[in-house]
């Protein structure tokens, strides 16, 4: 049993660690969502759909590119994928969009760099491309006949959206005040989608950092630990345990990155950590929404394809980085070596946060000065939040409980 005094000390450390994690990541979130919001306003869903046809190198590449410049929220990405597929895009380009929009987005790469190292950023982007390639090959070899037609009919029955007509010219939008008001609306919509995942995910990461010993993860990921040299079968097992751990946390990719840093600092292999990061599309809430959009048969097929792809790609990355001498050192994650208070130092993070808080305030002023209904790509967000209402309620309760936990921890830290 943990002594009362030790519990309160750990509680305070957990709260400060969570707040420190968020403080270090704040400017990255803001930068990513500003860029994402600009692209969602100036590159509409209808433009994407018109350039994505049936499966082919060009359409798959375009699907991946549009995903790269789109939102990283799994539910919004799923809704947009459904809409693109519903309106005629091929299944492989649509899934390429989905994978890219959750693995290749800018804000995720910045966050990984902050909490892990450049090795994982390279692994994330290179692995994202490899995931799309592996998915394409697996679908090409295994897709049962009739699945696509059945899934398209099911998607159309979810509430087909009408033709958006000719979208406004992006140059005109960029020069207009209304265009930037719409950017502001999308920016705060992005925050509205992820604040619950981020709050709960960062709180869990802080609690794990303070309360859970590294030996727990070393027992869970067999053969892991500082200075360990796991065998190949143990590394392969890590790529299976990573998705299971992600499945149990059910936190989105943005909220899971601090936890991924804790796993790596505890000695989990590069392959296991990458599999954990790649697993945001194989968790239960995403499976449930996928089944609602595409039908149960296609949902379980997509789950199998994604799981096989991420295991293959995580192992390939591990082998490739090992052979080239680029395997990251667990000590390269500086965030795990800091004391809780050190994360609030006056450094580049402090000034970047000031800049992006100012930008956020400017966007807030624009959206408040005149409400606009000219949100050219908000349908996916609205459908995503509506279809995930039960999970949204659960996460809301967990996020509010997290705020209570953090407030209590901060009080304990300064009063103890």
Lowest mean pLDDT among 177-191, 243-257, 315-329: 243-257
Which of the four pLDDT bands, split at 50, 70 and 90, describes residue 202? confident
Q: What is the mean pLDDT of residues 395-410?
A: 91
pLDDT at 209: 79
pLDDT at 340: 57
pLDDT at 111: 82
Q: What is the mean pLDDT of residues 334-349?
A: 63
SS3 string, 304-340, reads HHHHHHHHHHHHHHHHHHHHCCCCCCHHHCHHHHCCH
More confident residue, 73 or 295: 295
* pLDDT over threshold 60, residue 382: no
Distance CA 310, CA 44 (A): 29
Which of the four pLDDT bands, split at 50, 70 and 90, describes residue 407? very high
Distance CA 399, CA 395 (A): 6
> Where do the H-state alpha helices sit in 212-227?
214-220
203-to-62, 257, 362 alpha-carbon distances in Å: 37, 12, 29
Output the six-digit token pair for 400: 């509010």
Cβ(37)–Cβ(44) below 8 Å: no
pLDDT at 272: 92
Which of the four pLDDT bands, split at 50, 70 and 90, describes residue 409? very high
Q: What is the CA radius of gyration of the chain?
A: 21
Residue range 48-102, pLDDT digits in tens: 666 666 667 888 888 888 778 765 566 667 777 877 787 777 889 889 988 998 8
Residue range 115-170, pLDDT digits in tens: 888 999 999 999 999 999 999 999 999 988 788 888 878 876 655 444 555 556 66
Output the six-digit token pair for 156: 């159309």
pLDDT at 384: 45
Lowest mean pLDDT among 111-115, 124-128, 347-351: 347-351
DSSP string, 46-93: HHHHHH--SSSHHHHHHHHHHHHTS---HHHHHHHHHHHHHTT--HHH
pLDDT at 126: 95
* pLDDT over threshold 90, residue 180: no
* pLDDT over threshold 80, residue 260: yes
pLDDT at 373: 45
Q: Averaging pLDDT over each range in 54-58, 335-339, 344-348, 354-358, which range is the top one?
A: 354-358
pLDDT at 416: 67
Q: What is the mean pLDDT of residues 267-280?
A: 90
* pLDDT over threshold 90, residue 1: no
Residue range 22-53, pLDDT digits in tens: 887 788 778 777 876 776 677 665 666 666 66
pLDDT at 271: 93
pLDDT at 144: 85
Which of the four pLDDT bands, split at 50, 70 and 90, describes residue 393? confident
Distance CA 403, CA 394 (A): 15
């Amino acid at each position: 049993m943990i002594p009362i005094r030790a519990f309160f000390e750990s509680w305070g450390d957990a709260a400060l660690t969570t707040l420190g994690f968020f403080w270090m990541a704040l400017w990255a979130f803001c930068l990513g969502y500003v860029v994402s919001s600009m692209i969602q306003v100036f590159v509409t869903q209808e433009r994407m759909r018109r350039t994505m046809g049936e499966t082919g190198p060009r359409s798959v590449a375009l699907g991946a590119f549009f995903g790269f410049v789109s939102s990283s929220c799994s539910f919004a990405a799923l809704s947009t994928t459904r809409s693109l597929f519903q309106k005629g895009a091929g299944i492989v380009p649509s899934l390429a969009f989905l994978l890219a929009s959750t693995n290749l987005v800018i804000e995720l790469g910045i966050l990984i760099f902050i909490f892990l190292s450049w090795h994982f950023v390279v692994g994330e982007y290179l692995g994202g491309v490899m995931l799309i390639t592996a998915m394409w090959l697996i679908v090409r070899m295994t897709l049962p006949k009739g699945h696509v037609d059945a899934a398209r009919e099911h998607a159309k029955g979810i509430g087909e959206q009408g033709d958006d007509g000719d979208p406004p010219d992006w140059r005109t939008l960029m020069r207009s005040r209304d265009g930037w008001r719409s950017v502001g609306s999308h920016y705060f919509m992005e925050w509205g989608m992820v604040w619950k995942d981020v709050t709960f995910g960062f709180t869990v990461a802080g609690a794990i950092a303070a309360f859970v010993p590294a030996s727990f993860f070393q027992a869970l990921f067999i053969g892991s630990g500082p200075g360990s040299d796991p065998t190949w079968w143990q590394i392969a097992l890590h790529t299976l345990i990573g998705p299971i751990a992600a499945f149990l946390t059910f936190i989105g990719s943005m909220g899971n990155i601090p936890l991924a840093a804790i796993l790596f600092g505890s000695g989990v292999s590069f392959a296991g950590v990458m599999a954990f990061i790649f697993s945001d599309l194989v968790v239960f809430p995403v499976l449930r929404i996928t089944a609602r959009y595409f039908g149960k048969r296609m949902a379980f097929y997509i789950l199998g394809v994604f799981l096989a792809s991420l295991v293959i790609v995580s192992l390939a990355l591990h082998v490739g980085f090992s052979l080239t001498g680029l395997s990251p050192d667990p000590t390269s994650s500086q965030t795990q070596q800091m004391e809780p208070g050190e994360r609030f130092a006056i450094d580049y993070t402090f000034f970047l946060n000031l800049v992006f808080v100012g930008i956020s305030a400017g966007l807030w002023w624009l959206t408040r000065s005149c409400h606009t209904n000219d949100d050219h790509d908000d349908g996916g967000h609205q459908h995503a939040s509506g279809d995930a209402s039960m999970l949204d309620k659960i996460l809301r309760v967990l996020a509010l409980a997290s705020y209570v936990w953090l407030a209590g921890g901060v009080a304990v830290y300064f009063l103890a």
